[in-house]
Structures are given as C-alpha cells and as structure tokens.
Amino acid sequence: MPLPVGLLALQGDFEMHRQALARAGLETLPVRRPDELARAGGLVIPGGESTTLSRLIDRGGLRAPLREFVSSGRPVLGTCAGLIMLSRGLVGERHETWHGVQPLALLDVTVRRNGYGRQIDSFTEDLVLTDGLQDGGPCRAVYIRAPRLEDIGPGVEVIARRPDGEPVGVRADNVVGLTFHPELGDDGRFHALLSG
C-alpha cells in the first residue's frame, strides 16, 4: 500500500485538496503534528494566509520536520500561501515587515505576496504547461490574492505560465510550487504529481 499524502491541515482550504487528491486516486492524512508528517508519503501545503500558516507551523513544531521531509525526497506541493511558505524570501516588503511570515526556504524562488493588487485580486485563466503536463488538454487556473514569482533560481524549472509568459508554477526536484489553486476545479494533473 502506498503511504497516504499528508495534507497540512493547520489553516486554509485543505478540504478542497483532500477532494482533489481523492479524484486523483490518492489517500490523504491530515497533518498537524510532526508524528503525522512522519507517516505521510507526500505533502500538500495549501493556500490560506501565509502569516497565519507561518505562525502555526512554528507553534506546531513543524519547521524542522518539514525541512527533513523535503530532504527525504518525498513529493511536496505548495499552492498560493503554501508556495509563499516554500519560498526563500519575500520581495516588495522590507524584511521587518514580512508581517511575521518566515518562509521555509525549501524552493529557490522569491515571491511577492498579493502580487496582482486589489482590483484583480481574483481571476481565472488558462495555463500554458510544460510538455510533461500537457496531456489532458487546457488547464484552467484560479488565482485568489495570488503571489507573484519574482527571482527564480537556476535549479528551478518553470512548469506553468500565464498566456503572457509569466511563470506561475515551478518545480525543483521533489518540490512543486504554484501561485494558483489547482484544487478548485476538476483538473487532477498537479495532484497526480504527489503519487511519488
């Protein structure tokens, strides 16, 4: 039996991820503590509010275990606020004003929180995907107060773009980060990456 996919269930829209993983044929395990993380074969860090997520990761003693989890090679998917937590830093805000967000620095990218401003802080659009993800036709992406990817490190591959070419999905080894919400909609191809 494959190990279940852990779903960081501290805050945010983890229930929709559970349903998306189920559609991809994957069992899930809610993760709130290090011992639960240890039983997971992969992990989703959902969207939500990165300020809250960051605080709850520290309160739950999950920071070091999350680092170990990634170095063990198990697949990790971070979406929206989850991507912010995986990043190595925030831009557009002075360090003292990251509003308590302490990213995990597990993906060599920087992000700009709420990068699309207030007027269009939510929108839906088709993605342009890399070759490996194209099977299954067009893929609709939902952006909700989404971060923008800024610096993308040399070892990080862009796997999804907006029609204008802006990167919105990246992968480095076993870590995938998306600025949008793949769990909202019926497309399971990003969740399928967690099957390991």
Give the residue numbers marked as catalytic. Answer: 80, 181, 183
Taking CB under 6 A as the rule, does residue 113 contact ligand GLN? yes
- Applying the rule CB under 6 A, the residues between 3 and 62 that interact with ligand GLN are 47-50
Out of 43, 144, 149, 168, name the contact with ligand GLN by CB under 6 A.
144
Q: Where are the alpha helices (DSSP H) in 39-106?
A: 50-59, 63-71, 81-86
CA distance 167 to 150: 9
Looking at the Cβ atoms of 77 and 80, the one nearer to ligand GLN is 80
Q: Are 129 and 149 in contact (CB under 8 A)?
A: no
Q: Edge-to-edge strands of the sheet including 89-90?
A: 89-90, 109-112, 148-152
User: Token pair for residue 115?
Assistant: 């990068």
- Smallest separation (angstroms) from ligand GLN to the CB of 46: 8
* Residue least distant from ligand GLN (Cβ): 47
- Applying the rule CB under 6 A, the residues between 79 and 98 that interact with ligand GLN are 80-81, 84
Looking at the Cβ atoms of 90 and 133, the one nearer to ligand GLN is 90
| Torsion angle in degrees (nearest 10) through CA of 6, 9, 10, 12 | 120
Interface ranges with ligand GLN (CB under 6 A)? 47-50, 80-81, 84, 113-114, 144-145
